[in-house]
Amino acid sequence: MNKTILLERLQKERDQFELLLNRVGFARRLTLRGVSGALTVKDLLAEVLAHEQFIADRMSEIAHGEKYSPAASFTLFENFQREYGYPDFESPLFEKDKVHPLILDTYKTIDFDEIVSEELAVYASILELIEQLTFHQFLDHDLSHRVAEHTYRPYRRAASLIRRWLKEFTSESK
């Protein structure tokens, strides 16, 4: 997938995700537990932010000629988390089916508006880096796939959970 198609798809997915967040925010349900287990919309947005920060940092490293290798040992995995403040999402040691406790702990005391502000800034840096990186850097580092994996796929996962929760929430209140 070329950068133009990636940017179009990313923006389309992003628009849909933001519309859903606006709908939930308008109903003032952003911090209600139960979206998925005890998770809130805020928790899911924090996970999206962590994924976006992960790929923004990796893309920045690529732009500066630095090399990233997924953590292959628990020690390297823990060191990565300490250094960056989020898990190594591309490590084979990362459990993909749940929100990582580090993310929940990091953002539990941060206001939703601050998370939104930070997430918007990271998203803007992703767009800048997509424009900045060359075609060959994209190919060499499989960035079309990796950007999708850490941007609009988390949007879709979170949106699916939120829509299901809204449906249940609406049916319970009738």
pLDDT per residue as tens digits for the range 41-99: 999 999 999 999 999 999 999 999 999 999 999 999 999 999 999 999 999 999 887 78
Host domain of residue 126: 3-66+107-172
pTM (global) more than 0.85 = yes
Among 37, 39, 25, residue whose Cα is nearest residue 112: 25
Query: What's the number of domains the chain is made of?
Result: 1
159: tokens are: 């949106």
> Is residue 25 in a domain?
yes
> Is residue 152 in a domain?
yes
Q: What is the rounded CA–CA span in Å between residue 40 and residue 132?
A: 35
